[in-house]
Amino acid sequence: MATETAPAHTPPLPRPMRADARRNYERLLAEARTAFTQHGTDASLEDVARRAGVGIGTLYRHFPNRTALMGAVFQGEMNALLTRSRELAKAPQPCTALVDWLRAIVHHASTYRGLAQALMACSGDESSELSRGCRLPLREAGSELLARAQRAGAVRPDVVIADLMQLTNAIALAVEQSPDDPELADRLLALTFTGLKAH
């Protein structure tokens, strides 16, 4: 006799935002992006809310903490980086493609003072919004480029993506701390390229 099973519970879809809530959300994102660019990721959230014309409580209703706001601000750049990784997955030289990908991450992370440090800090917390929205998708995309370069025999087999991501964030942090040395990123990436190559 067949046993009946209860129908699977499907969680309700999130309700769409009201028009005024959507406007507040977009204004907060725009002001946060400006603040993070001008003052770094430790910019005052009270100032962000004030410039958006809302109270700090409204900011926290949309973004429960700073990392949630950072993840939302950087979503557009993340999408562009993921698109770039798919393009590089078809490049003829897998090792060069991997280093070009790392260069794109360094450029992105050094655009916002404090982002590289925040990404390094969240490396042990996969539940954080910044990890879920930024670090983990980047690591997954980088893993594919690294595996392709290793299959081609261009990169040492003992290289792991977690180390590469930490190294890339460290380069971005060094670039952030040395604004008068525009060639620093390329020099450090060239050293990385030398260390990656299979002998």
The Cα 31–Cα 65 span in angstroms is 16
Q: DSSP string of 24-85? A: HHHHHHHHHHHHHHHH-TT--HHHHHHHHTS-HHHHHHH-SSHHHHHHHHTHHHHHHHHHHH
Q: What is the pLDDT of residues 30-59, one digit of tens each?
A: 999 999 888 888 899 999 999 999 999 999
Residue 111's contacts (CB-CB under 8 Å, 6 or more residues apart) are 37, 77
- Expressed in percent and rounded to 5, the helix, strand and coil fractions of the chain are 70, 0, 30
**Cα angle 68, 176, 78; round to 5:** 40
Surface-to-core class of residue 163, CB atoms within 10 Å of its CB (0-12 exposed, 13-18 middle, 19+ buried): exposed
Output the pLDDT for position 129: 67
Output the pLDDT for position 127: 67
Report the chain's mean pLDDT, rounded to a whole number. Answer: 84
Those residues of the chain that have pLDDT short of 50 are 1-8, 10-11, 13
- Beta carbons within 10 angstroms of residue 121's beta carbon: 15
CA dihedral of 78, 84, 86, 88, whole degrees rounded to 10:
-140
